[in-house]
Each structure stands twice: as structure tokens, then as C-alpha cells.
Structure 1
């Protein structure tokens, strides 16, 4: 028993809330474009994704080797530095620095936060509460991002740097909350610090010989990709609707509302996830989430109508619905000394698959101007990708060895 670890459980939802106060989320592209041309603003996005990809798995190994608390403190420190860098930036090089620091913060947090929660509960013999506690953390995190997006959109009307000030406050708060936590004792006792980086990768891949674990790995990688399709294409879809919402000086406010409401949808999914998991089981829950993504992408692909925006708002609901229940299936099957590395590897594969999907979709329209025919073509191809994935997931789903 480790009573001191109880503080970790109490603080975890607020760590998620404060970390996700990304007020810049609905305005970052506008901020970049205010300093650099469009091509450079797009290139900054590629720098971020490249850095996250390179640091994703090594940061998970760092967590497994040196501890959850220190890794989360490093992540928070990177977030603090990133937001200071963004606020101080005056040119392309300053924005590059911010992107690199943000990517490192994201990479160091990825996988470690959920491993921190599970290890803390395990040290208290309360691991049976993991799904409920993780769902609560997700609910707090998405609510934080929703509120920050609404606030950031409004602050951006006055100055595009102000949303980064909100994010800086959140990062400092997260650092303070994490500083007051303790390292879960179970992590220190479960082989932590043993094995090289390559050995850890090998051991994680060997875990996929468990058919259930392999299936969940594949489904989560696929769902990550599908969840980003609506986000990637909702702005050009809005432009084609011709509503004029992004005209004049209201751009940041409208963008903040769209992002914020969608995050509230994710928080609702997280709030319902444990109850629905207990009632329906993990397979049915995943099938429902898959079907929702098909409806969302299909609506965007085949219909140009205002009511389809309701589907865009719901884009985070499926992910919120499955995140905690799926991690509750994964965590007991992966040892503490590999857990963050494994989850980081899963996250990395999701990013790579989505990047590959975008590369394929971009190749099918070449340099065509934005039109309903070109956007619909891209989205119909994404819908086909989702439909094939759903069929494969159903066919390959294990019939046994699921806790529920």
C-alpha cells in the first residue's frame, strides 16, 4: 500500500485540465500567418509533426526508465518554454523554436500520463477503478481544452499572443500540480530502469503476439486517423458552404466556438464511456465509435449542407467514448516497465498512418483548386478507407480473452 500516491489520483484530473488549456488551438495558424507567408506557416506544421514523431517513443522509454513524475515535469517544462517562445517570437526562427518545444512536451506527456494514473492506482490496490478515473481525467482535459478554445478565440480578437498567455498559465499550473505528486512505487518495483531502448521496443512488439492486444493496438491506430479527418477538412468545408462565418474580424471567435463545442462533445463521450462499456462491452463500444466516424466522414463526403456541421461538432465524441475503456484493457496486459513505451509506440503509429493517409489523399487531387468536387473526392476516399478498416476490425476481432 502506498497511501501517498492518493494525491496523484486527486490531482490527475486537474493536471489534465491545466495541461489542455491550449488557448492558441483555434488561432495558431492565424498567428503564424501574421508573421510568415502561407507556405512557411504550413511548413511549421510539418516541423511539429516531425519532432513529435522522432521524440514519441524515446520519451516513452525515458518514462519507463526514469519515472512517471519526472517525465511529466519535463513535459510541463517544455510547454512553459514553448509558450514563452511563441509569445516572444518575431520571425520564422522564433516560431520554429516554439514548435520544437511544443512537440517535445507533447511527446514526453504521451503515454506517460495514463501510465502514471494506472501505476498510482495499482500501488493502492485500486486498479479496478482505472477506467472510471481515466474517463474522469479525459472529461476534465477535454473540458479544459473546450473552455480554453472559447477563451482563446475571444482573446485573439484583441491580440493573437494573448491565447498563448492562457496556455502559459496552464503549463505553469500543470507543473505545480505535478511537482506535488509522488512517483508510483509500483513503477519502481516492476523492472523500471532495466533493458536498453531497442530491447524495450522489441519487448513491446512481442506483446502483440497477444491477439487481443494486437487488435486493440490496430483499432486505436485506425481510430486516431479517422478522428483527425473531420478536423483536417472542416475549414474548407465551411468555406464551400459560403456562410461567411470566417469573414472580417470574427475569424478567431468563430474558430474558437467550433473547436470548443467539439471538445465539449469529447468530454460528453468520456463521461458516458464507463457506463456504456459496462453495459455493452468493449467490442460493441468500439463498433459504435467506428460507425460514428463513418457517419461523420460520410456526411462530409456526400453532402454539402449546413446540418452536417452537427457531425463536425461530434467528431471528438467517439474518441472520448473509447479512450478510457480501451486503455483499461491494455494497461493490465503491459508491464509497468514497458507501459509508456508501448503507448507511445501506439501513438506514433497513429500519427504515421494519418500522415500516410493525408499523403495519399493529397496525391489524388494534385494542384486542383478548392471546389466541392475536389473536396468531396478526397473525403469519399477517406470514407472508403474508414469503411474498409471497419470491416477488417470486425473480421479480425477476437472472440475470447476480453475482460468485457
Structure 2
């Protein structure tokens, strides 16, 4: 069987999974139904805690019983999430929808990249992994652009419910398409032991051993996760940032399309950049840009801040293909999903603690000041890495 066909199928699944018109009016929709900034952050924390609880178990299940099963489950839960949001009028209903999204995210985080890498490995094309990841992310953003343009117009003209109905339909299509994926072959764990006889703790032990034996990778991931956490909250709250600085909802669709478009070049060029720069150098440069960018959005709210936000998304597009490729080229396929899940778990944990500070400041003061806080956190991690790499001699 030609498992490389999975790549084409994943392209299509990613397109429909991200063709979600609801996202462009999401924060306004939530706010219109009584959700404050702090409530939204609490939902983000529910999401992060759900990830923390389910990330490692889903990664182990993916490695032990198969990645496709987890992807099918994730597709179903994502569809259900959109349906729940259509009927959400209270914090707990929104929190339940986010809980479903958390489980779906945990199922995907380890399984998708593992299935993709092993599908390429079956055809001896592992060297294409970063390029494929970049293309997948670009398809993600192209779908997001189309969805943003559609969602802002529909939301303005017909109300906020129509974009959510269309989003549920798109998630249903993505769910159906996951059923047609094929499970690629994998290596055995622990001296070629039959997978069915491998103990769950062996996956955990092997994953910890992998990270302990790659300290440089851990340092790179910490920087990449700081970038990811900052971009996550930028992505979640740019709508309120624009709203606070005087932009109308009609501009939201255009801006959402712009930031999605801005992420495409970095994803497509990441593999080529690795020909000239080391992975940790690339991530360090991006972290530096993000740190400066957050402070500029706070110092210059308005047109300059909007341009800076676009530049931040442009720079961040490089990070995921670089870091994901760095990990997967070094890990055995037998624990690939579990290792990916550990990485996602740590990323969500970092995002959770940063989100607590951001949510408190954004609620008490403003989203603009909250972005300054994100800049300060990024600078702290940047400073830590520089001191660690170049200790002061006494």
C-alpha cells in the first residue's frame, strides 16, 4: 500500500478542519453572550488543563493502538464542539465546548505528526517532513483566510449564528475524511517486543529518556514554546485589541486574512532556512522579534501596532516546521506520538501560567497592557537563554 496517499488526504482534512468562519467573530460572539476576558482566559485554562490530563494518555494510545483511531475521535469531538457552541449562553456551556476541543487537540497533537512522518518513512521520504509540515500549515492558513473573509461578512449581515452553522458543516466533512486515512507501519518498542505486550509505562520511560539525552532540544523547545504561548494569546485576543484601538468588525475579516497570509511564507521557507541556519538560531531570532513586537503593540496601539502584529505572525510561521522536524528526525517511530504529546503537554502548561498573568492584567487594565506583559515574559526567557549559553565569567 502506498501510504504517501495519506499526505494528500491530510491536506484535504486540514483544509476543512480550518475552514471555520466562526473564528473571525469568535471573541465578539462570546462577549455578546456574556463572556468577559477573564472568563475567556478561564476557558483557555480549562482547555490547557484538559490537555494536561489527556495529552500523555492519548499519545500512548496512539502509539500502542494506532494513530488513525485518535484522529477519527478528534474529528468527531471537533464537530461536536461547534454544535455545542451554537447553543452556548453560559460560562459552563462554553467551558464544556472548550473541554471537547481540549480532548480533540490532545488526540491530534501526537497522532497527526506521527502518522504523517511514518507515512513518509514508508516511502523513504523522511527528508520531506519539514516541507510537508510547512505546506500543511499553509493550507491551514489559506482555509483560515477564506473562512475569515466569509465569516466577517456573514456575521455582519446575517448574525453570528450562521458562521457557526457553516463551521459545524466543515468540521463534519473533515471528520468523515479522517475515516479514509491508512495506518502506516511502525517500529517495535523495546527490543522489537510485540506492541500489544508493551507496558504503558515503557512509553513514558522511553520518552523521558529521549528528552534527557537531548538537552539542546529541550532548550530549543522552551524558546519555541514561549513564542507559541505568546502567539496563542495574540491570536486569541487580536479582535479585542483592534476593538480597543477603534477598528470596526468589518475590518476583522480583512485583518484575519492578512495575519493568516503572513504566516504562510515562514512555513514554506522553514525547510530552506535550515540549509543556512541552525534550528536553535532560527528560534532564537524569532523569540527576539516576538519580544520586541509585543512591546511595540503596547507602545504604539493603532496603525503601527496593527502592522507589528502582522510582522509577528510573519516571523512565527517559521517556528513550528523547524521544531517539529527537529524532534521527529531524532525520535523512534515507536514512541513518536508519545514524545509529541509530552511536548504539547509542556507547551500547554507554559501557556496556562502565562495566561493567568495575561488574563488578570487584560481584565484589570486592557488587552494592550496585557500584550506588554507577554513581551516581558518573552524577554525573560530570551535573557535566560543568553545567560545560559554565555555565562558571565567571574
Task: Please say if residues 297 and 382 of structure 1, whose CA atoms lie closer than 8 Å, have aligned partners that are also in contact.
Answer: no
Task: Please say if residues 226 and 378 of structure 2, whose CA atoms lie closer than 8 Å, have aligned partners that are also in contact.
Answer: no
1:289 shift after superposition: 1.9
1:318 shift after superposition: 2.9
2: CA distance, partners of 1:233 / 1:179: 34
| 1:265 corresponding residue in structure 2 | 262
| 1:275 corresponding residue in structure 2 | 272
Aligned: 1:160 with 2:155: no
1:27 shift after superposition: 2.0
CA 1:369/1:127 → structure 2, altered by over 3 Å: closer, same or farther?
Answer: closer
Q: Deviations over 1:297-340 (max 9, x none)?
A: 23224434522211212333333212223222211321222111
| 1:175 corresponding residue in structure 2 | 175
- Larger deviation: 183-192 or 303-312? 183-192
| 1:18 corresponding residue in structure 2 | 16
1:148 shift after superposition: 1.6
Q: Deviations over 1:182-204 (max 9, x none)?
A: 10012678764554444322321
Matches within 5 A, 1:4-403: 4-38=2-36, 43-89=42-88, 91-157=90-156, 158-186=158-186, 192-193=195-196, 195-208=198-211, 209-231=213-235, 234-235=238-239, 237-239=241-243, 241=245, 244-246=246-248, 251=249, 253-360=250-357, 368-370=364-366, 374=369, 378-379=373-374, 381-391=376-386, 395=390
CA 1:228/1:393 → structure 2, altered by over 3 Å: closer, same or farther?
Answer: farther
1:92 shift after superposition: 4.9
- Larger deviation: 45-54 or 58-67? 45-54
SS of the counterpart of 2:182?
coil
Task: Please say if residues 74 and 105 of structure 1, whose CA atoms lie closer than 8 Å, have aligned partners that are also in contact.
Answer: yes
* TM-score (norm. length: structure 1): 0.84
SS of the counterpart of 1:125?
coil
- Cα RMSD between the aligned structures? 2.9
Stretches of structure 2 that go unaligned for 5 or more consecutive residues are none
1:210 shift after superposition: 2.0
CA 1:389/1:303 → structure 2, altered by over 3 Å: closer, same or farther?
Answer: farther
- Larger deviation: 319-328 or 185-194? 185-194
- Larger deviation: 153-162 or 214-223? 214-223
2: CA distance, partners of 1:186 / 1:172: 29
* TM-score (norm. length: structure 2): 0.86
1: CA distance, partners of 2:232 / 2:11: 24
Q: Deviations over 1:239-258 (max 9, x none)?
A: 554xx214xxxx2x333333
Stretches of structure 1 that go unaligned for 5 or more consecutive residues are 397-404
- Larger deviation: 303-312 or 113-122? 303-312
